[in-house]
Structure 1
Amino acid sequence: MFLAGETITAGRLNRLQPRQYFAQASGTLPASQTSVDIPGVTVTFTTEQPNAIYTAHLAVDFDWNANTNSLSSSRIKVDGTFPINLFSVAQMQTTTDRATNGQNYRGVLGSAGSHTITAVATTDTNIINSYSSLLVVVYEVV
């Protein structure tokens, strides 16, 4: 918020516009993996102020190689930790099944500086294919 008569700085004006970051998978993630980074689905960015808000949309391409009754899943990791146990999950019964599943996230980045958001997956008999992506939007504190 800007008050009447207040001096406006370029830095504060620049923080008014949300910033978008996008990453697409650079390869596949093999079957039988547990909490492994999806290749290429990582964004790194810098915030100017503490308490910036981020939203993220993760889309993961699950591609089955064998019949299974087990779940495969994906989620985001923020600065090396899992901020919330909110997963994108898939379970397919047939080797020809394939699905691109999504999940949405929202959180606060407590400190200013460099941050990294990474897509992580656990696979059963499926692979995570290269049509996976991550879109992050950051809203700075003005």
Structure 2
Amino acid sequence: MPFFAGGRLVASQLQRALTKVEYAVGSGSVLGPATNADITGAAVTFTTETAGAAYAAFAVWDVDINTASTATGTARISVDGTPQSPLATFGAEVATDRFTTCQNYKGTLAAAGTHTIKLIASPGTEQRIQGMNSSILVLVFEVV
């Protein structure tokens, strides 16, 4: 519903005009090999009032290599149970390597209601995602 000059504004319109900010940090680790494993604690759940709300997500995964390997691991977000692209990728051939990999996302939530966006990862053998240093920041923009 648009705003019109001289029109009455209702609280729900103002509420939808505000950007929702959601943030979470992981609490558990994932040791590979794994496929699209949840990063425990690194999930946000929120409710939209209208269909077509947009989101921007910024994701960070802390990767620790336990043993020399040529495997390439991947990570991404999941929106309401559906893995999203693009992938964050990682790999290293030295057992002492550790680094942070990140990726950002944008999309539209087709329906109004409760939504969950979370970090997932597919580390290779002897690759570990340190959840306590992995995080997700989501901005949600409602249709006014």
Relative to the length of structure 1, the TM-score reads: 0.95
**Structure 1 gap segments, 5+ residues each:** none
Matched, 1:134 2:141: no
**Structure 2 gap segments, 5+ residues each:** none
Q: What is residue 85 of structure 1 aligned with on the other side? A: 85
Q: What is residue 105 of structure 2 aligned with on the other side? A: 105
Q: What is residue 28 of structure 1 aligned with on the other side? A: 29
CA offset digits 1:77-136 (Å, max 9, x no partner): 111112x32111111110110111110000000111100111110011210012000001
SS of 1:13's equivalent in the other structure is: helix
Relative to the length of structure 2, the TM-score reads: 0.94
Q: What is residue 114 of structure 2 aligned with on the other side? A: 114
SS of 1:15's equivalent in the other structure is: helix
What is the Cα-based RMSD across aligned positions, in Å? 1.0
Tell me the percent identity: 39
Q: What is residue 15 of structure 2 aligned with on the other side? A: 14
Letter in 2 for 1:104: N
